[in-house]
Amino acid sequence: MKKILAKEEYCMGCRLCEIYCATAHSKSKNIIKTFKSEGGKILSAIIFEEKDSLSFALQCRHCEDAPCIQACLTAAMYKNKSGVVLYNKEKCIGCWMCIMVCPFGVIKPNLKDKKVASKCDFCVEHERPYCVENCPNEALVIMEVDN
């Protein structure tokens, strides 16, 4: 399975990955429109961790035997044919089983709407994930990993 991975020693902490993630999942796919006219607030599928000089971005690892799929009460979490873990917002009821079992902690809950707020979809609608494509220091890379 191809995974998006982070090289923490290359991450400059610019957080452009989050900006581009939000853009990739916006209506316009246009960075300015995304943040100016489409509502603006960043809701990326990336968990960005930062402390002092250390930083990195984390996304869904699209695990082979994905715990979130196994635990999901409604089959809202599922895998597409290429092995990407996706979720169906309609089916999600906010039971938070996925939050409970995801070892990477990369699924964000929306406690108000009782839905999974966001998780990485590997930019299935695009050729390559926006975060990787736009990481200025190549700290985010795509690699083939067993499992």
Partner 1 sequence: MRYLIIGFSTAAVSAIKSIRKVDPKNEIVVFSEEDRLYSRPLISYYLAGKIKDDNLNFVDEKFEEQYNVKVFYSTKVISVDVKNKVVKTEKNEVVKYDKLLICSGSVPIIPQIKGIRDNIEGIFTFTKLNDAKNLLKYIYENKIKNAVILGGGLIGIKVAEGLLARGIKFKIVDIAERLLSNTFDEIASKYLEEKLEENGCQFVKCNTIVELGIKNKKLVYVKLKDGSKITTNLLIIAVGVRPNVDFIKDSGIKINKGILVDEYMRTNIENIFAAGDVVESKNSILDENSVIPIWPVAAEQGRIAGLNMAGEAEVYNGLYPMNSIEILDIPSISFGITNVNPQDDKYKIIVRQEKKVYKKIVLRSGKVVGVILVGNIERAGIFKLLIDKKVDVSNFEDELLKDNFGFLVLPKDFRKHLVMMTEEVPM
| Binding positions for partner 1, rule: CB under 8 A | 2-3, 5-8, 47, 49-51, 54, 56, 58, 61, 65, 67, 70-75, 91, 93-97, 99-105, 107-109, 111, 114, 141-145
Q: Which is nearer to partner 1, 35 or 96 (CB)?
A: 96
Q: Which is nearer to partner 1, 23 or 106 (CB)?
A: 106
Structure tokens at 58: 């984390």
In the complex, the smallest distance separating the C-beta of residue 28 from partner 1, rounded to whole angstroms, is 29
Q: Which is nearer to partner 1, 40 or 103 (CB)?
A: 103
The Cα 98–Cα 112 span in angstroms is 17
Nearest residue to 59 (alpha-carbon basis) of 115, 9, 3, 110: 3
